Amino acid sequence: MPQSKPARWTARDIPDQHGRTAVITGANTGLGFETAKALALRGASVVLAVRDTGKGERAAEEIALAAPTARVRVQHLDLSSLASVRAAAEELRSTCPRIDMLINNAGLMYTPHRTTTDGHELQFGTNHLGHFALTGLLLDLLPASRASRVVTVSSAGHRMGGPIDLNDLDWQRRPYDRTAAYGHSKLANLMFTYELQRRLPASGPLAVAAHPGGADTTGSRNAMSHSSPLTRAAFAAIRPLLLQSPEMGALPVLRAATDPDVHGGEYYGPRGFQQSKGHPKAVRSSPQSYDATLQLRLWSLSEDLTSIKFPL
C-alpha cells in the first residue's frame, strides 16, 4: 500500500541534482519541458529527446535562460519508428557515459486510426512500444542505485476502454476506438513499469510510474480538437475546474524521479479529488494494471514486436 508522505511536495523538495543526467522524451513542451526545466534548475544535465529538433532547440534555449549554468542538449527521437529509437539510443550511448534518470514522458492522445512506421496502432506503438524499446536499449547505462530511476508517464485515462485485448493490439479485428486505444497504451505503461520493477535487482535502479492528473498542456488541447464542437465548448467551460498548470502536472513525475523515499513499483499522481489536481503522492492504479499474468504476457509480446531483449 502507498505510504503516508508529505502533503505538499513541490519542486523545492527536489534534491540537488548536480552530477546527474536525465533523458526526457517529449521534453520540448508541456510536462516534459517543465520536468526538464525543474531538473536543470537543480543542477542536472538534461537531454531533450524529441521528434522536432527545431522545437527542441528553442526549448533548450528557454531552459538555458532560466538555468544559465545548466547543461542542456537535444537528441532526435521519433518513438513511432523503432529504427529512430535504435539510432537515438546509439547516439545517447556514445554521448552519455551514464544516465541517472530516464523519463518516458512523450505520448500521443486520441489520434485517428493510424499506424507507426512498423505497422502498429499509433498510440500503442508510440506510447508503449517506443518507450519499451528505448528503455531496453539504455537500461545498462543506469547505475545500480536506488537513486537511478526509469519513470514512465501514464494517465488517469488508463482506466478507459475496458479490458485490454492483447490479441488485437493493432485493432484489426474490431472497430477502432481512439479513446480506448489511448487508455490501453497508458495501461501498458503501468504494466510495463510493474513488470520491469519485478525484474530489476534490489540494488536498483527503480522503475516508477506517474501521471499528471488533468494538466492544461498542448497535448490535452490538441486531443480535444478531434472532439465535436459541443464537446469542445463544454470542456472549455469546465477546464479551469478540472485542469492544473503544466508546472503542477509535472510534480508527480519529478517526485517519482528524485524523491529518496520513493519505492520501485510505485505510482505517483495528484492527491486531489479523483487525482485530477494537487500535490503529488503515491496512488493506486486500476486492478487490471496489477495483473501479473497480463504484465508478463505484455512483456513477452513487446519483446517480440520490438525485437528488444532487456539486459536483466
Instruction: Kindly tell me if the per-residue pLDDT of 26 is higher than 80.
Output: yes
Which helix (H) or strand (E) segment holds residue 242: the answer is helix 229-242
Q: What is the pLDDT of residue 218?
A: 53
Q: What is the DSSP letter of 130?
A: I
Residues in contact with 54: Cβ distance below 8 Å, sequence separation at least 6, in sequence order: none
Among 98, 24, 88, smallest CA distance to 56 is for 24
Q: Give percent of the chain with pLDDT exceeding 70.
A: 88
Whole-number pLDDT of residue 7: 67
* Across 225-242, average pLDDT: 54
Our answer to whether residue 194 is catalytic in this structure is no
CA dihedral (262, 265, 270, 272) in degrees, to 10, reads -110
Q: What is the mean pLDDT of residues 270-286?
A: 86
Topology of the domain covering 19-305: Rossmann fold (3.40.50)
Across the range 135-158, mean pLDDT stands at 97
Q: Residue 240 has what pLDDT?
A: 57
Q: What order of strands is seen across the sheet that includes strand 21-25?
A: 72-76, 45-50, 21-25, 101-104, 149-153, 206-210, 267-270, 280-282
How far apart CA 262 and CA 1 sit, in angstroms, is 13
Which pLDDT belongs to residue 275?
Answer: 72
Three-state secondary-structure class, residue 26? coil
| 139-160 mean pLDDT | 97
pLDDT reading at 217 higher than 60 = no
Q: Is a pLDDT exceeding 70 seen at residue 215?
A: no
Classified as helix, coil or strand, 160 is coil
Q: How far is the C-alpha of 197 from the C-alpha of 193, rounded, in Å?
A: 6
How far is it, in rounded angstroms, from Cα 239 to Cα 86?
38
More confidently predicted of 217 and 308: 308
Residues 6+ apart with CB under 8 A from 7: 271, 279, 281
- Give the model's pLDDT for residue 169: 94
Answer yes or no: is pLDDT of 230 > 70.
no
The least confident of 66-75, 179-188, 264-273 is: 264-273
pLDDT of residue 273: 66
Of 76 and 215, the structure prediction assigns the larger pLDDT to 76
pLDDT of residue 277: 80
List the one residue out of 215, 211, 200 whose CA is nearest residue 311. Answer: 200
pLDDT at 178: 96
Number of C-beta neighbours around residue 84 at 10 A: 18
Active-site entry in 110, 176, 182, 267: 182
C-alpha cell at 259: 524523491
Q: What is the pLDDT of residue 226?
A: 53
Domain borders along the chain are 19-305
pLDDT at position 158, please? 95
- Check residue 244 and give its pLDDT: 82
The DSSP secondary structure of 181-202, one letter per residue, reads HHHHHHHHHHHHHHHHHHHS-T
Query: Which amino acid, one-letter code, is at 212?
Result: P
Distances (CA, A) of 122 to 82, 110, 112, 151, 306: 12, 10, 9, 21, 14
3-state secondary structure (DSSP) of residue 269? strand
What is the dihedral angle through the alpha carbons of 53, 54, 55, 61, rounded to the nearest 10 degrees?
100
- In whole angstroms, what is the distance from residue 60 CA to residue 279 CA? 26
Calculate the average pLDDT of the chain.
91
Is the predicted pLDDT of residue 43 greater than 60, yes or no?
yes
